[in-house]
Amino acid sequence: MEKPVRSIVIVGGGTAGWITAGRIAAEHQHDSAQAVQVTLVESPTIGIIGVGEGTWPTMRNTLMKLGVSETDFFRECNASFKQGAKFAKWVNGADDDFYYHPLMLPQGFQKGDLSSAWQREGSAQSFSEAVCYQEAVCEHGLSPKLITTPEFASLANYAYHLDAGKFAAFLQKHCTTKLGVKHVLADVTRVVAAESGDIAAVEVERAESNGSDQIAGDLFVDCTGFSSLLLGKHFEVPFVDRSDVLFIDRAIAVQVPYADDDSPIASHTISTGQEAGWIWDIGLSNRRGVGYVYSSRHTTETEAESTLRNYVGDEFSELSPRKIPITSGHRELFWKNNCVAVGLSAGFLEPLEASALVLVELSAEMIAEQLPACRSVMDITAKRFNETFLYRWDRIVDFLKLHYILSEREEPFWVDNRKPESIPDSLQALMSLWKFRAPGDHDFTSNNEVFPAASYQYVLYGMGFKTNMNWRSASDAERMFAQEQFALNERAVRQALDTLPSNRELISKIKQYGFAAI
């Protein structure tokens, strides 16, 4: 039990496998006898899902921790900037129905709440437009920084859109050449159990070998995707189905070329509500990634494909749609014995708000930074990991559901989403509180929150929710503070529109000149 944890075996590649491998290797990389060896075993025959193209701002920190150049990342992964999400036709389905969830906090958010003043004044501006200059930046297709801004620094907070396949290959190259990760191309044929119940090794068959051999390890990370080969199949950890809350269970995805090399690149994810789900539209530097996620209980595959065809236009007939089944939910536990699941093997929800990749990042971060020193303390780390991520999955489910319950659309999909029996009790309790006061940090007391209170404000007030503040009057100081912050935001809008280049222009400059190194 006192055996040191020195050998980490990651089964499965893709973004989840390589981010995890890189974070562990970078955190524990040194040339002493106590160095940790990371081995990634990847099947040469099983491809990656490859549609996780939206990230959170946390990805900037992840790339920095890996020691990656942001310039190289843009050049090799067809990356572009993401500054938030635009939700179109989620409230009533009209052509002018949209709101933003930007990636910046409302103006002065740490000092006071502007939502009350915004509602009292009955502003003609949307909530995000009134409190955050990033909506204007996105609406004008502008970037979040200048070519003279150093790598990973920003003027406006940002995340990325990226080509998932190219990103996995980029990470593979970096991890194997710079971080010492050992890459084994082989199919896992059997899991070898130790007497203790732990995994002792995985048995593999390599393409270049006639026989099989075993790869032993102290900790195994399951990144085998939906198959969940280690945690799900070997340890038989049950799957918790959350489709009673989130109805999306199918996706059709296509890659849409730009009309020409100078076509604008959206600086945000566009999510457009449809009869039985919603369509994502993600602008990379070389193409768009577009997909329809929908509920098979509320439409047919033929109707769904027709919906996506209407959105994409005539060029749809020349594209190759990919069809992806989705089972919303997660494992009952994520770390059992000496095995921890990361990515799709841990669970999956509809790709709203880019929650899949951020859970990979958060999982990899916790494993790397809290890697148990020896087997005797691993169960303590595992308990902490399970508690943390069960909480995070629950909060993500709540936040995604929030996007549906305020809709006024009358199609059966949207009506069913508003039924109380499909809304978690935890979310219903918060909605009751928010009838009388705005979401604030006091509503989220855990340090493991995924979405801040500001994110709830953007969605609530973007969708027309009203908080009744008549039970208390605003002080003169509060009114003065609000007016100052609204004025500061108007000034920030003007400065941003005068200063920032277009998304396309900056990305072209990155590829030509590169950013200044940190």
Distances (CA, A) of 298 to 152, 273, 390, 502: 43, 14, 29, 39
Taking alpha carbons only, the member of 243, 201, 298 closest to residue 7 is 201
Query: Which is the catalytic residue, given 3, 65, 82, 509?
Result: 82
For the purposes of burial, counting CB atoms within 10 Å of the CB of 96, is it exposed (0-12), middle (13-18) or buried (19 or more)? exposed
**C-alpha closest to that of 134 among 151, 109, 116, 112:** 109
The encoded tokens of residue 460 equal 């609530």
How far does Cα 79 stand from its chain's mean position?
A: 15
Would residue 401 show up in a list of annotated catalytic residues for this protein? no
Three-point CA angle 178, 81, 500, nearest 5°? 120
Q: Burial letters for 467-489: b for 16+ Cβ neighbours within 10 Å, e otherwise?
A: bebeeeeeeeeeeebbeebbeeb
DSSP 290: E
Q: Which residues contact 109 (CB under 8 A, 6 or more apart)?
A: 454
Structural contact between residues 349 and 355, judged by C-beta atoms closer than 8 angstroms: yes
Nearest to 25 by CA among 183, 167, 179: 179
What letter represents residue 409's amino acid? R
What is the C-alpha separation between 434 and 466, in angstroms, rounded?
Answer: 9
Rounded Cα distance between 27 and 346, Å, is 23
Structure tokens at 190: 């059997």
Cα separations in angstroms, 372 against 367, 405, 424: 8, 42, 34
Q: Residue 289: left (phi > 0), alpha (psi -120 to 50), or beta?
A: beta
**Residues known to be catalytic:** 82
